[in-house]
Structure formats: structure tokens, C-alpha cells
Structure 1
Amino acid sequence: MAFPFCLLALYAQFTSAIPASDALSRSYDYVILGGGLAGLTLANRLSEDPGTQVLVLEAGDVRLDDPLINIPGFLGSTVGNASYDWLFTTVPQVNANNNSFTWDRGKVLGGSTAINFMAWGRPALNEIDAIGALGNPGWTGENLFKYMRKAETFTHPDPAYAAANNLTFIDSAHGKTGPVHNSFSRFISDGQKPWLSALETLGVQKIEDALAGEDVGAWMAPATIDGISVTRSYAASAYYAPVSHRSNLIVVTGAEVNRIVSGKRSDGLVVATGIEFSLDSQSRSLSVKSGAEVILSTGTIKTPQLLELSGIGNPQILTPLGIETKVSLPGVGEGIIDQYFFGVSYELNNDSIVTLDSLRDPTFEAEALTEYETNKTGIMTIGVTGFALVPLQTIVGTANATALIDAQARKIATGNYSAVQKEKWNTIIQGLREPTKRGYIELVAFPGFFTTASAPKEGKKYITFTGNLHFPFSTGSIHVASADPSSQPAIDPHYFEEDFDIQVMASVLKFIRKLGGTGGFKGTHSNPCARPKHSTDYIKNHGGPEYHTIGSASMLPRAKGGVVSPEFKVYGTSNIRVVDLSILPLQISAHPMSTLYGVAEKAADIIRGIVTV
């Protein structure tokens, strides 16, 4: 049966686990700003000690019973909906035809884990090692993978189903008792069945399990779908709901943080003494007791904004806005790296194939929901499963790749770039030169229409291939544009500022067109706008962010422009930490959920004193 969507308004009414007045009158050991992936992971682990009082302030609502979140087949349906989404917008991008791009981020308890496409992956071990080599002791692939597995419970697929769909895994690479459940989706569209064989024809070999530490190749991926309940497993359902009864864990939703109030200790370190935030359209304040910690888990966009509004950042940005500089940290908001993607949708030559396009038919959708409710089978159990990570050499050929890489390396060596920028970029160059160890371009098979280049035809079914630039050289910034906390920050990713990025993406488009005519995909028809002569305009006009932005509060030595230490402590402060995706100084090849769960688990151990780094 179909869910009455008018009931969704009821879920938004649950604004706090307890009355806000009671919550604000208490004293806390940890005040966590942001109830997304990292914030709720920390809240769970820090409140394991019954003598520790933990408060989470989250701007979004509690939606634990929301079918648009919980039912896998509704993936993507809440993106762009202001009831779930912050709907940030970039400034016009000069090198992307002056287009502005929407940066969707989850504004709900659970953050973006509630609205994303549930992709579950991990980077290569050597990518985390590279982060450690920038000056972050204790940060290794082996160490962080331990924490990634701690967060996970993997449900094995039925052996016959796995064999029929080329679903393989290495059991030791997966966790068995963690809060976040993942599994292979119970429905895989016939439209994407040729994925692995077509890629093999083009030189991309299947790998057994991309989550085991090496991810170059093609695979069928699990998703954050609970293998028992067949519902989305996300930060709120995994880390908060099972422990929401804890009397020492308080979550206040609908609370949008404005700034951190601070003073200065005798040793010169800034100490957080309070939080200013808005709740029910009213200004509120909360005192932070002596010895307590404030942890920012507000994400790559909001974290630099909140730091700057609190006087932590570059004085050249803060002073003109009338913001007093408390800690001079020019690295705040700088060095962001955003992955970019585009999609080409192919019309299938068999209209009987079931894809997500089938759900545009209200009758079919109602029948699919009935099947899901009755049997937990069918299209409503779907996830995105077809993935590949390929080196540049596979896309353009070895000789062309060498020429491109050498030219970019020379530009870096002779260009007017900072030493730390060159150091970061040279890690990308090194990865590009090692095609068996580091993938560069992600390809994804999406079972449905997924492009803005045209509209789907009625009754037709599609497969979309996306090309995703996971290690761009173009680097941007996020900064406050106003001292008003309700104003969006200025988001400027500098898409395609480095010409290398658009050259590569144009070649990826050609590769995707070749893929669309290979093996079992022969006979499909792509959008004519995706022809080679239109390639760069197609990419700039019909591509966009992958929503995996990193680097706005980088974990680096302070002398290198770092904002936080390897212990997540904001430099120049005594009790302010950042734990979210903003701390990664380098991009990773994987969709970042598993990585960030691992980062948050590691942070919890550091904060509790279980480990040092």
C-alpha cells in the first residue's frame, strides 16, 4: 500500500527528546554541534560512560519513522526537498560556464546519511597512509580500517543469489557487530546486468571486494540497507535510536547553532564558554561548564562558517565583517576539494525491464510498495550496486596518460603555488603514476534516468553511467559572507580552475560512450547532447557535485595551514574539536560514509583517552 505523504508532517513535530527548557538547564561534559553521521557516532560512544553527560544540538528534525528515508527504493527522493535538505548554493563558477550548483546536505537527525544514495565503500589503504604522511602521526590505513569495521555489521547474501549476480566479498574485510548495517540489495535491475562483462571488455577487471583495502577495478557494492529489516541504516537509526533511552544523552532538534562564545585562558588558549543558537525562531544560549568540550560535527560547509562566526579564522576575512578574531587560523575554509560528476542516460531497448523509472507509474509504485511491505522484495529494496574505479591509463591510454601527468607535474613544480598545495597535489601525481594501486575515475551504473540534459520518455527505461572525478586538482574555499548566522556562506569550489580536470572529464565522457556500446549494452541510445563535440559544455552544464567535499578545517600541522591536530583539537583552543569530513586534507577514492564512521569512532577513542592518536 502507498504511504499517505500527508502524515510526514507529523514526524517533524518531534523536536526534542526532552523539553528544550529542561535540556538547556543541565550541565554537560560534551556539547556536540550537529547530529549527523559524526555527531551521533560520537554521542553514542561518549555516552557509554554513564557518568558523562552529552548534549547534541541538531538543526533538523527527528524522522526515524519516515518512509521516504527508510524505504531503500525512495533513495534520492528527499534530495532537493527543503524539509530534509539545507540546499546550499555555490557562487557562479567561472570555469563551468558561470553555473551555480546546489550542494545538497541532510538537514535532519542523521544528516546526509538520511538522504544520500546509501553507497558503501572504502578508500585504498594507501590513501589514508598519505594523509598520515602530511604530518598526522597515528593516521594509517590499517588503523582507520579497524574503526571502519567497528562501525559495521555486514549481512551475507544468499549464496545462490550472490552467484547469480556476481556478488562477492571478503568476510574478514567486514564488521560483524557494528551499529551500521549494510548488505547487498535484494533487487538488481536486469538493465545493469552487463556491467561487469562490458567493463572487462574495456580492460577493467572485476575485484573480489573493494572494501578490503585495494579498490582498482569493478565490483558489485553493498549499500547501507539492513539485511534483516530491509530499511536504510543511517546514523540516527544505527547510532542514536538504540541508545536514545540513555538519561545522560540528550538530543535537541530544531536547534541551529549561531556561534561559540569564548574567552581566553592565562596560557593564551581560547576556551569555549557558551553556545548561542536559535530554537523555535528564538535566540537561546547555553553555558559550557569548566572542563567540558565543544565538538563541531556540522559538516564541511557549516563547520568553517561556524568557526569564523566564532572568531576563529583568517583576520583578513573576519575583520571587514566586524567579527573579532579570537584565533588567527588562515586555513579555516581554505583548501576544499569537491568531487564532480556527470551522467549519461541510455534508453534501454527492452521496456519490460524494471528500473527506478518504473516508479514514475503510480500504479506500479503502489504495487511495488505492497510487495515491499508484504515480502521485503522487489524494486523498493534496491540500492546502487554497479561500481568501478579506474586509473587514468585505462581512460586515455598509457602514452596519453603519461603526457597529461607529466605536464601537470611540471605545472605544479614551476607554478606559483604554496608549498603545502604542491605537497598535496604531488600525492595525486604519485597516485596517477601507480595505476595498479590508486584509481582515479569512478564509474557508476545507476538503474534509472539520472541527468538534467533532457527528460525521460513516458514508459521508457534507462541505465545511467556516471563519470566521477575523485581526485580533482581544482581547489576552492568556503567562507562567511556575512556576520549574520542565517546567511549562507560563500561556497566556491573553483570547478575546473585546473584545466587538467576538464581534459580528463572530456575523456571520461568518451569512455562512457564506448561503454554504452559494449557487450550487453549494445542497442541502447544516449542523449544526443553527450556527443564528443559538445563534451565540455555537457559536463559543465549537466554535471555537478558528488556531495563529498573535504578540507575546510584540515587536519594538518598549523605551519601548513592546518586547523585541527591529529587529536581533532582546533589549534589555539583548549576545548574545541572538529570531527567531520572537513578535517580530511586529501580526497579519497570512495564514497565517504564508511570512512567518516571510522574517523568518528577513532575520534571517540581519542577524546575518551582510550588511545592517543
Structure 2
Amino acid sequence: MSLFLPILILAFSFLTYASPFSFPDSDPTTDADSLVDNFNFDYIIVGGGLSGLTLANRLTENPRTTALVLEAGSLHFDDPLIDIPGNVGMVLGNASYDWNFVTVPQENANNRSFAFHRGKGLGGSTLINYMVWNRPAMAELDAIGSLGNPGWNGTDWFKYMRKAEDFAHPDPSLAASENLTFIPGAHGNSGLVHTSFPLFISDAQKPWLPALMELGLHHVEDALAGHNVGIWMGPANINSKTQKRSSSAEAYYRPFAAHRPNLRVLTEAPVTEILIPDRQSRNGLFSVTGVKYGYKGQTRTASVKDSKGEVILSAGFGKSSQLLELAGIGDPKVLQPLGIDVKVNLPGVGIGIIDQLLWGVSYELKNSSIVTLDDIKDPELEAAALAEYNANKTGVLTIGVTAYSLVSLDDIVGHSKATEMINKQAAKIARLHVSEIQKEKWNIIINGLRKPKEVGLVEISGFPAFFTTASTPEKGKKYLTFLGHYQFPFSTGTVHIVSRDVNTQPAMDPHFFEDDFDSQVFIESTKLIRKMARVGEFVDVLGDEIDPGMDVQSDEDILEYVKNFSATAYHTAGSAAMLPREKGGVVSPELKVYGTTNLRVVDMSVMPLQVSSHPMGTLYGLSEKAADIIKGEVSV
């Protein structure tokens, strides 16, 4: 049976699950569609990605609580393109796995439109990301609380991140030989997301720690312990027993499906409308009654219980805010020209988005016998690697990114120049005519830059393959790519609907390169990467620089390279920010949409600030805490 046929996932016979759709007093042979249509749920969750499935699992731990998850994408269980770590990145751009969003042309990047990859399927972007398992600095999460979000502090956030995790300690001999260090107390050991150090580390990555320490960078024993400025070898969300990706679908849904008759999940069921009656309740708030969604070529309705039912948007950047705006929740200046009646005047919907940019500097290896992911571009080597993986769960297909650094502005340009840049940026912010909350958020970045031992600015990782796009790799050659990843850009953008048609992509405009400070960071970080590649043991490992190439030397040429060949890191935050309403917030600290009684947003959209990490671990923590808030087990 094709994985891409519309399905009600638990009906798949190959999963060998008993049907979970026999609620009390219901006929288990009844068609599942009618079960959904004729049942009022405690919770309807829009989007079966990271946050949606975390919530679905935790909310239905109580057998009396019912939940429906509506996922627009397909099911991808037992798919080697997803499961095998070494296949990372292979499905990006494939419409069966990726929504393939694009930005509007970016004025300050030669009018390029950037791809916005988003996972399409049960598991969301945990199906297609690079499996980086890390966390931000504790101080960054405290800053989110300081914006007017009581209860959201670093200590509590870390508690919930650990709750999500089941960390497998590495084999002691592997840990010793590959410098894999960790602090046991920083990790969870009873959560649902399996994490471990990748088994295979390329010889191209092994100089990472000793070489970069020669530049004066500090070795971090465990970057998940709350302090992450320095260099380290990091884990991934890989199940150590199966050597497969641990997605949210594998972690929070698949093991429980046969035992949760109170949880229903539909795939290929895109939500098209949030149902909000025109009349407000006595307290002046709107109550959501359910959603409309498409399924098997029909428009259907799913409803929540009148007294306490809730709809939770976990559709991710661009989609959650789109559904809010289409429902009449947003800025009248956006909604009224499209003929949408304004129910809740919330100008913060779709503004203040922040995305991180990624760019690469690639080097040819002097020794082409070193094993990297370039090997699997050769059909014979790929077949051999797959045979080893299938037989033993070893080899290059168990690889991860693994080699990381997080550098401060002081590390990049030196303390004196960093101070000069920071002071100049702070003075510029003070002069700008922007909202006070925007200045407050920018000044949090400024304060972090002044603490170079606590808050980093640019992640630089070592990826064992050719990963740049300006040139084409040569057959038979091997490469290492240094990936720069700018964590705290000042450029801030918007995402808004341009049509009443839910199938029309919103206008995604991150305003890349709008701020000159960002441009200077890209230039100076590229210079630092070049220093990294020519120090210590890397001298014997790395040959010619391929991209951008040594003919690119001036600041202007370096910046032009980054503008033309960078990519978004797909870590977009802020389109439904958790902030006080008077500061432009969309959701409260309880993640409830202002002006409503029973509508929440739980996904990356609510993050009012970026963090110095890949967001997966942070979002699991957010979602775990959100579940406890919704259940009433914690208050904020």
C-alpha cells in the first residue's frame, strides 16, 4: 500500500496495532470518519509535528481525556529516507516530505527567494531536520521570562527538556577515543525522545577539539548543561538501540497508539478553518467550537466539547499565524483589505519573526580515503554502506553533525572591536523609531553580546561532506564543510496572509541582511572559519578551500557570497509571540490566544526571542510544559 494514500494512520495493517477507535459505548467496527465527525473532543490539535504529538501524548495520559490530531501531511513510518541518520537532508525539497515554502524576494540579498523547508508528515520537521540535540544557555531562557512571561525561566525550561529526553550513555571506549564528554545530570533518562552520540565520527572531524583549542576556544564538557559557549562533540536524536532517527512520531505516538483509544490521529487532513461564532461570550471573549478540515476529498468538521474543549494550533511557523488571520484574529490592516471580519484585534500576529541564516565554507580533504557522507554519492559505496548499516547498524550511515562550536563576538573579532560594534549598535537602536518591545528584544541581544562567556553569537559546526552550493563537488573527492549559523540576527520580519484561500502560501518576509550589524557578523565569522581551517591538526587534513574560494577576499566579496549562497536554518520564531498583549503579544504565558477562551498556540511561533541552539530540544521542553499547563498541573 502506498504511504501517500489518504489514511487514518492506525488503520494501516502493517503497524499491527489493534484499532484504538472503540471509545466507550461506540461500535469498534464503525467507520473511523464518522467516529471523528460525530464525537466532541476535549482537545483538537492542529498539526502532528513536534509540539502537536507531544501534547497529544501527554494530554491523553488520562484515559478520560480525548484528543484529535489533524495532520496535513502523510505517514512516513519505516521509511529509510527518514530513519537512517546518514540520509539526513535527502528529502529536503521533496514535496512528499517538505512543504517547500519560500520567502518573498529579499531586497537586501539580490532579490533572492530563500527556501523555507518544513516537515510534511506525522512528526513534522523532526522527520527532516539534521537531528541536532542541543540547548541554549540558561540565561537566554530567563530572558524570555523577563519580557512579561512569568513562570517561563531557564530552570523550569531545563526541567522539561530533561523530561522529554532518554539519553543513552556512549560506550566508554568510544567516548574516550572521540572526546565524547557529558554531564549525566544534564540529561533525562526516562523521556520519550531517544538521544545518543552518533556512532560514526569521520576522521575529517577528529581534529575539531584539539585544533580549535589552539585558537583559544574553550572545551565545553556538556553544552546541554546550561552553558554552551565553546567547542564540543554533541549528541543527536538517534535511538542508540536501533540507530534510527527518533522523531516525535516515533517517540510520542507510535509506541502508544495501540493503547490509547482516547487518542485519534488523521493524516492528510489539512485544517482549513478555525470555527469561531460571530458572537462573543458575556465576558467579551470568543470561544472556538471546532475546525473544518479536508479529508478524502471532502470538507469535514471536528468539534470540541462545549464546556471545556480547546483547539490548539501546532501547525508551525507560517501556518498557525495563517489560520489565526483567516479566522479574523490579527491586524485589521492585514485582514480588512482581504474582506475578513476582525474578531480579535491582535496586531502582533505575523510580526517580529526572526530566522537564523546558515552558510558554508567547504574544503577538500587531502586524503580522499577518509570516509565522509560524500561516499554515499557513489552508488557502489552507498550500497556497501547500506549493507553494513542493515547488517550491523554501524558505519557511515550512523553519522551525525557531532562537531560543534558556539563563538561569541569577542571570539570572532576580539574584545576591543566587539565592544566598538556593540556600542555602535546600541546607539543605533536607541535612535530608531520602532516599538518599545522591539527595542526591548534587541537590547536583550545587546546585553548578551556584552557577556561573551555566557552567550554565544554564531554556531560553527563541522559537517563531513560537501555542503555548499556555489560549486559542484568532484567525483571521488572528499570534503569537510564548516557551517556558520548566526543565532541572534537583528533583522526582523513578517509573515501575513495575502489571500482568503488557505492553500495560498502567506507572504514570508524575514528581511534578511536588513541590518548592517548582521552583515558584519557574516563577514567576520567567515574570516574566523578560515582561521579554524588552518590551525593545528586541520593543516594536515584540509586541502584547498572550494567555496567561497581564495579569490573571495574583500569584505564586499565575502558578504556577496553569503547573500548569494546562504540558506535559512529553518528555525523561524515569533509570529505568534508569547508576550503581554500591550507589548504586541498574541498568546499569554498560558499560551492562550488573547481575546479567546479556548484557543492556544503551542509551537515555535510563540517564541518571542531566538536562542543559541537548534530549537528542537527547546521546543520539546516548551511542549512538555504546555501540556502540564493545559492539564492544570502547573500554573504560570
Give CA-to-partner distance per residue, 1:505-558, whole Å, 9 cap, x none: 111111111112222222421125342222011100100100111000000000
C-alpha RMSD of matched pairs (Å) = 1.1
Match for residue 273 of structure 1 among 280, 289, 298:
289
**3-state DSSP of counterpart to 1:300:** coil
How does 1:384-533 map onto structure 2 within 5 Å?
Answer: 384-522=401-539, 523-527=542-546, 529-530=548-549, 531-533=552-554
Corresponding residue for 2:175? 162
Corresponding residue for 1:3? none
**3-state DSSP of counterpart to 1:491:** strand
What is the alpha-carbon distance in structure 2 between the residues aligned to residue 546 and residue 277 of structure 1? 30
Percent identity, aligned pairs only, is 57
Instruction: Please say which of residues 97-106 and 198-207 is displaced more in the overlay.
Output: 198-207
- Report if the CA contact (8 A) 1:339-1:468 is conserved: yes
Q: CA deviation at 1:65?
A: 1.1
Corresponding residue for 1:252? 266
TM-score, length of structure 1 as denominator length:
0.97
Corresponding residue for 1:374? 391
What is the alpha-carbon distance in structure 2 between the residues aligned to residue 377 and residue 209 of structure 1? 25
Q: Does 1:214 align with 2:227?
A: yes
| Structure 2 counterpart of 1:345, one-letter code | S
What is the alpha-carbon distance in structure 2 between the residues aligned to residue 243 and residue 25 of structure 1? 24
How does 1:130-145 map onto structure 2 within 5 Å?
Answer: 130-145=143-158
Q: CA deviation at 1:575?
A: 0.2
How does 1:27-426 map onto structure 2 within 5 Å?
Answer: 27-245=40-258, 246-263=260-277, 264-290=280-306, 291-426=308-443
Corresponding residue for 1:572? 595
Give CA-to-partner distance per residue, 1:397-446, whole Å, 9 cap, x none: 11111111110000001111211111000000000000011111110100
| Structure 2 counterpart of 1:76, one-letter code | G
Corresponding residue for 1:599? 622
What is the alpha-carbon distance in structure 2 between the residues aligned to residue 376 and residue 14 of structure 1? 31
| Structure 2 counterpart of 1:451, one-letter code | T
Q: CA deviation at 1:285?
A: 2.0
Give CA-to-partner distance per residue, 1:194-244, whole Å, 9 cap, x none: 111221122211110000000000000000000111110010000000111
Give CA-to-partner distance per residue, 1:121-157, whole Å, 9 cap, x none: 0011110100000000011100010000000000000
- Report if the CA contact (8 A) 2:74-2:268 is conserved: yes
Structure 1 residues 354 and 14: CA distance shift in structure 2, 3 A: farther
What is the alpha-carbon distance in structure 1 between the residues aligned to residue 61 and residue 95 of structure 2? 34
Extract structure 1 runs of 4+ deviating beyond 6 A. Answer: none
Instruction: Please say which of residues 516-525 and 137-146 is displaced more in the overlay.
Output: 516-525
- Report if the CA contact (8 A) 1:258-1:309 is conserved: no
Q: CA deviation at 1:259?
A: 1.5
Match for residue 16 of structure 1 among 4, 9, 17:
9
What is the alpha-carbon distance in structure 2 between the residues aligned to residue 501 and residue 584 of structure 1? 21
| Structure 2 counterpart of 1:377, one-letter code | T
Q: CA deviation at 1:15?
A: 4.1
Q: CA deviation at 1:20?
A: 2.8
| Structure 2 counterpart of 1:169, one-letter code | F
What is the alpha-carbon distance in structure 2 between the residues aligned to residue 599 and residue 380 of structure 1? 31
- Report if the CA contact (8 A) 2:144-2:608 is conserved: yes
Q: CA deviation at 1:13?
A: 5.5
Where structure 1 has 5 or more consecutive residues not aligned to the other structure, the ranges are: 1-6
Equivalences, count: 606
| Structure 1 counterpart of 2:575, one-letter code | S
| Structure 2 counterpart of 1:322, one-letter code | G
**3-state DSSP of counterpart to 1:212:** coil
What is the alpha-carbon distance in structure 2 between the residues aligned to residue 171 and residue 398 of structure 1? 34
**3-state DSSP of counterpart to 1:539:** helix
**3-state DSSP of counterpart to 1:138:** coil
| Structure 2 counterpart of 1:609, one-letter code | G
Q: Does 1:542 align with 2:555?
A: no
What is the alpha-carbon distance in structure 1 between the residues aligned to residue 125 and residue 348 of structure 2? 25
What is the alpha-carbon distance in structure 2 between the residues aligned to residue 89 and residue 11 of structure 1? 23
Q: CA deviation at 1:11?
A: 6.0
- Report if the CA contact (8 A) 2:118-2:570 is conserved: yes
What is the alpha-carbon distance in structure 2 between the residues aligned to residue 98 and residue 342 of structure 1? 17
What is the alpha-carbon distance in structure 2 between the residues aligned to residue 27 and residue 66 of structure 1? 33
**3-state DSSP of counterpart to 1:318:** helix
TM-score, length of structure 2 as denominator length:
0.94
- Report if the CA contact (8 A) 2:573-2:606 is conserved: yes
Q: CA deviation at 1:16?
A: 3.3
**3-state DSSP of counterpart to 1:577:** strand
Q: CA deviation at 1:284?
A: 1.9
Instruction: Please say which of residues 150-159 and 525-534 is displaced more in the overlay.
Output: 525-534
Instruction: Please say which of residues 513-522 and 28-37 is displaced more in the overlay.
Output: 513-522
**3-state DSSP of counterpart to 2:287:** strand
What is the alpha-carbon distance in structure 1 between the residues aligned to residue 586 and residue 226 of structure 2? 28
- Report if the CA contact (8 A) 1:517-1:524 is conserved: no
What is the alpha-carbon distance in structure 1 between the residues aligned to residue 343 and residue 143 of structure 2? 32
What is the alpha-carbon distance in structure 2 between the residues aligned to residue 65 and residue 529 of structure 1? 38
